Amino acid sequence: MTDSALPMTAAMANRAPRKLVLNEKRVRSRYAAERRFRAYGIAAIAFGLFFLAWLFVTLVVQGYGALQQSKMRLDVNLDAATLAPGGKVDDTTLRAADYTALLRTALRDTLGVGSDRAQRREAYALLSNGADNELRRIVMADPTLIGKTVPVWVSASADVDTLIKGQIARDLPENQRRLKDRQIAWVDKLVADNRLKKRFNGALFVNGASSDPEQAGMGVAIIGSMYMMLVVLLTALPVGVAAAVYLEEFAARNRWTDLIEVNINNLAAVPSIVFGLLGLAIFLNFFGMPRSAPVVGGLVLSLMTLPVVIIATRASIKAVPPSIREAALGVGASKMQVITHHVLPLALPGILTGTIIGMARALGETAPLLLIGMVAFVVAYPATPFDPATALPVQIYMWAGAPERSFVERTSAAILILLAFLIVMNAAAVLLRRRFERRW
């Protein structure tokens, strides 16, 4: 070994020393390319995360203002002669009474407005169109107030609201502003008197549709979306689980099951608007179901959710080890008993996780709902799923198209509420998986 090695080293020593690194410049550039490539990767990820952060920050910055609404404190004289002529205090008279007149009198007194009609009109414009409804609700809740002078908080108009929130510039020339100089002076006076301030905007969560931004709310949309989710849960979950059980446990591998399988995979990728066309042609035209009804929306969404449920259920049924099935079969259970008593309970967390994720996707879906008439101006709460309603994403779509400045912040707030629902649902899915998922 050493004998043969020695002449070799001697021979090498005779030659000029060879450079270990052939071309430093080239290596440097290769390393630079390596660093550049990594930087591209980081930049790509940074772009994605930046966009995500930008989206959320924009929505929060635009939307948090809508949680508050400018309200006015007026000392309203609940005149018995106006409210209950002839001393009759019942629901019908109270509902039909002229609350606007009471509010306007109170406002005139507060601002010291005389009988000048232009001045009066400008003063009245400070009040929301729906303020009489708010006063009606107060009086009807407590009829003993009639005849007294009570301080009430009622909504100011959207123009006042945007002024208080600093969303319109005060220094524009008067004819380019929605509020005149005199009105701004009144607003400032009311603010100084502590009669006009921002308070929590409960109407946003409770009210139905309204063309006055300060009265518009998402109550109908939230209820409509809940009805739809109920329909999805009641139809997509049982049907999806049954289909998955059949495909996974009973079906022989043949052309029929292959066809079903290809079908399910394709249904999962069909554009959502196509489901809307299906709903329009089949549910509305053929079966004559009502337009704008949450039950139709729910059925369309459950057809969309079905593939998600089936795929998730099949995966979690597959994850149940065969030993469990064999043990149950071994003690004499029938195949159906094995499935209902053992396989499904063990697969349940996975099934529910998949269902919740599918429902979260359905909750945010808009396009198919546009085609079955969920774009509707619905003021009253739907009593049943067959009554007209809207849905959260559709409400967002409608508000996004409204021209008033005040609707921008309301749209953002609506989006935040929708996202909050989605986050809660996804977090529930993750928790369910963490808490109950078993590994064999």
Site for other proteins in 190-249 (CB under 8 A): 238-240, 242-243, 245-247
CB 371 within 8 A of CB 397: no
Look up residue 200 and give its DSSP letter.
Answer: E
Helices and strands, number each (H, E), in the chain: 20, 3
| CB-nearer residue toward other proteins: 103 or 306 | 306
Tell me: does residue 172 bind other proteins (CB under 8 A).
no
**Residues 326, 328, 331, CA angle at the centre, nearest 5°?**
110
Residue of 357, 342, 338, 344 whose CA lies nearest to 313: 344
| CB-nearer residue toward other proteins: 145 or 284 | 284
| CB-nearer residue toward other proteins: 89 or 376 | 376
Stretch of residues binding other proteins (CB under 8 A), selected from 76-84, 101-109, 201-209, 362-370: 362-370
Measured between alpha carbons, how far is 290 from 388 in angstroms, rounded to an integer?
A: 8
Tell me: does residue 345 bind other proteins (CB under 8 A).
no
Tell me: does residue 440 bind other proteins (CB under 8 A).
no
**Which residue of 12, 23, 28, 45 would you call a contact of other proteins, by CB under 8 A?**
45
Measured between alpha carbons, how far is 176 from 182 in angstroms, rounded to an integer?
A: 14
| CB-nearer residue toward other proteins: 30 or 318 | 30
Site for other proteins in 133-162 (CB under 8 A): none
| CB-nearer residue toward other proteins: 125 or 284 | 284
**Which residue of 89, 226, 282, 432 would you call a contact of other proteins, by CB under 8 A?**
282
Measured between alpha carbons, how far is 297 from 301 in angstroms, rounded to an integer?
A: 6
Beta carbon of residue 348, minimum distance to other proteins (angstroms, whole number): 17
Tell me: does residue 60 bind other proteins (CB under 8 A).
no
Stretch of residues binding other proteins (CB under 8 A), selected from 13-21, 55-63, 74-82, 146-154: 55-63
CB 287 within 8 A of CB 368: no
Work out the burial of residue 100: count CB atoms within 10 Å of its CB; fewer than 13 is exposed, 13-18 middle, 19 or more buried.
Answer: middle
3-state secondary structure of 154: strand
CB 377 within 8 A of CB 209: yes
**Which residue of 269, 322, 331, 332 would you call a contact of other proteins, by CB under 8 A?**
269
Tell me: does residue 429 bind other proteins (CB under 8 A).
no
Per-state percent for the chain, helix, strand, coil, to nearest 5: 70, 5, 25
Sheet holding 149-155, edge to edge: 149-155, 68-77, 196-200
Binding mask 95-124 for other proteins (x = CB under 8 A): ------------------------------
Measured between alpha carbons, how far is 303 from 312 in angstroms, rounded to an integer?
A: 15
Interhelix angle 294-318/255-267, rounded to 10 degrees, is 120
| CB-nearer residue toward other proteins: 185 or 281 | 281
Residue entry with tokens 């430093």: 24
**Which residue of 230, 319, 329, 400 would you call a contact of other proteins, by CB under 8 A?**
400
Beta carbon of residue 172, minimum distance to other proteins (angstroms, whole number): 19
Tell me: does residue 259 bind other proteins (CB under 8 A).
yes
**Which residue of 199, 334, 424, 436 would you call a contact of other proteins, by CB under 8 A?**
334
Beta carbon of residue 271, minimum distance to other proteins (angstroms, whole number): 2
Tell me: does residue 370 bind other proteins (CB under 8 A).
yes
**Which residue of 31, 64, 377, 436 would you call a contact of other proteins, by CB under 8 A?**
31
Other CB atoms closer than 10 Å to residue 2's CB: what's the count?
5
Beta carbon of residue 360, minimum distance to other proteins (angstroms, whole number): 7
CB 211 within 8 A of CB 379: no
Site for other proteins in 288-327 (CB under 8 A): 288, 303, 306-307, 310
Residue of 358, 346, 271 whose CA lies nearest to 308: 358
**Which residue of 194, 287, 403, 440 would you call a contact of other proteins, by CB under 8 A?**
287
